[in-house]
Structure 1
């Protein structure tokens, strides 16, 4: 379910110190999951060409239709702990409670710090993809020339809107990886039916990768040919009329 974003709440103006880091959209994708929690999905862009940023905090404020007082205020972080110069990172923020009264959400960039950047020395490649309602995807990660920890591969799904909206982010944890090691990974889950593709990317404590854009194939539909044989037609007295 898509909830409207109140323009009165969402159109905040960043102050001068935050102009180099911005929300890519003040109207992120907002939906209610199967447990009733409200999920906010969006992305943050680092517009600085020289400096990476870290500790990026985004505030989501949840409202109902009847009051300007928020029902909840939740702070979240970007998926990437360090956003490189001119880079972007998705974020996902979840309400604290499954509140059906939430109908509007405002998002606001709170704080960030400058940071040394990581080295872009992780490479990713696709090795197989099948879409039949579930997405079955496999790939290979090649690590850089040093050991890494907390290595993850991310799939950020988007729809056919222009510009595309982020619908969700799935994480494939890989953990510790040796220098120059190649690691296979797999993903097999049901995904948002509005998804038309995803961006695959990775990071660890020391390295990160490019974003790789992958389009979803058309769903494979299995069909069965049914053959009926040995059928006879009889009249009311049981006499055979045809074969």
Structure 2
């Protein structure tokens, strides 16, 4: 990715709104499936635990973490199709390849997070034998580094879907894109967090609208623009 690319922050929301208007019921339907796949197995697992079937309950909870990946990919793929195409459209994508790469991406990210937490715990324990203040500094600095890494990976999955990247390529692409647009991404994440918090109102029914809109905004972030280019300026206008 060229370092001169930037996010068209001004036109992200108009583009997302226009894309949502093309297929609102399909977006709402996929958001409904996403929520059901995440909440349904978790509630079932809690009921199974109360009945004494602890291992089945734990299995259902794990399923609630894995099953949402498929409807999430479907929602991102639909959002990518609803947004205006780029000048060079990407080739068709196979579901088997997409699911395999997305699963690998999630596993890589999870292993890095768990490894980072284990490293912070080990270093803080070792530093605590010398000074509790030093241990606190290790925990705080390690936590900040972990948050920065997680922040840099916000666009990894959308980039994987849009550019047909492999897992490690998507992680690196997201890191570079967020690094060159840190303040914009911070403002955008704050906006999306506020929208989804509002979606929790009314028995969380608002999430049926806020989740597809958030997916459209994130997929629009994958369409970066090059500054000082007349073609790019024309392309960022809502169509």
TM band (smaller chain): under 0.3
Structure with higher strand content: 1
TM-score of the two chains, using structure 2 as the length reference: 0.24
Select the structure that is richer in helix. 2
Q: What is the TM-score of this pair, normalised by structure 1?
A: 0.24
- The higher relative CO (CA closer than 8 Å, separation ≥ 6) is in 2
